[in-house]
Amino acid sequence: IEKDLRSAKASLKEILQDGSFGEAGAKVVIEEFLDGVELSVFILTDGVDYLLLPTAKDYKRIGEGDKGLNTGGMGALSPAPVADTSFMAKVKEKVIIKTLNGLQAERIEYSGFLFIGLMRVGDEPYVIEYNVRMGDPETEVVLPRIESDLLGHFKALGDGTLASESIQVSEKVGCTIMMVSGGYPEKYEKGKLISGFDQIDSSSLVFHAGTRKEGDEIVTNGGRVLTVTSLDNSLEGALSNSYRNIDKLSFEKSYFRSDIGYELKAEVK
């Protein structure tokens, strides 16, 4: 992302003339910079009909204040604070329905999750990416908010009866906080003993990612190690529960961001 035309021209010279990326840089794509707020929209679809799952906002950067290197995700909130009723009506009309119409027009048969990465610019949705899967750590905060029978929805998808399904979503706010190995997303060590699982109270769920069993113990086995999810009637309550419980978990050189959701507390109740 370049801040001005001069910088953009310098980068293009470096890529195209100086060959900084070799053969991979023989062509470049120039896109409009979108200044807005990102959010994730998920649907379960048979290619014609769909169920709209809870929305989410994730936090990619390793450092406090959303600074530093990109990661697979350091935390997430659901619902996305910018996904109000009027905006989501536009998402359905301009993005979801047109996407499904496009699949049908191109005779692409698809059944499953569709993850649509959006940027809200003003009051308009812009599509950044599609994924034919759920997201991580968004899944850990989206699925706990679904109150209807998810397995029943999957069965309807397979049976061809998705059109008759309706989804029930909790009004509660969810947050999830990711605990990672020190050094992630660069070099990190594995095999660190994790303690504190027996101290987690019923207000939170712990989802394992980069862990493995070693005898009767659980040790680290990756960069993103585990995530702690909580639901509450307010964002403040959900954050408090997740941070209180993640503080009970520990392993050598563990790290998690302590600022997930705090810039949005006034917007989500």
Residue 219 host element (H or E): strand 217-220
Instruction: Give pLDDT, residue 3.
Output: 84
Instruction: Give pLDDT, residue 269.
Output: 42
Q: Where do the structural domains in the chain lie, given as residue ranges?
A: 34-264
DSSP-derived letter for residue 71 is: E
Phi and psi at 95, nearest 5°, equal: -120, -60
Instruction: Give pLDDT, residue 265.
Output: 57
Residue 182 Ramachandran class (φ > 0 left, ψ -120 to 50 alpha, else beta)? beta
* pLDDT tens for the 269 residues of the chain, in order: 888 899 999 999 999 999 988 988 899 999 888 999 999 999 999 999 999 999 999 999 999 998 999 999 999 999 999 999 999 999 999 999 999 999 999 999 999 999 999 999 999 999 999 999 999 999 999 999 999 999 999 999 999 999 999 999 999 999 999 999 999 999 999 999 999 999 999 999 999 999 999 999 999 999 999 999 999 999 999 999 999 999 999 999 999 999 999 877 544 44
Pick the CATH number of 34-264 from 1.10.240.10, 3.90.1150.10, 3.40.50.300, 3.30.470.20: 3.30.470.20
pTM for the whole structure: 0.89
Q: Could you tell me which of 257, 255, 256, 263 has the C-alpha nearest to residue 236? A: 263
Pairing between strand 211-214 and 112-121? unpaired
With 0-12 / 13-18 / 19 or more C-beta atoms within 10 angstroms meaning exposed / middle / buried, residue 267 is exposed
99, 41 Cβ separation under 8 angstroms:
no
State how far the Cα of 14 lies from the Cα of 28, in Å rounded to an integer. Answer: 12
Phi and psi at 235, nearest 5°, equal: -60, -40
Instruction: Give pLDDT, residue 263.
Output: 77
Q: Would the CA dihedral through 20, 25, 26, 30 be positive or negative?
A: negative
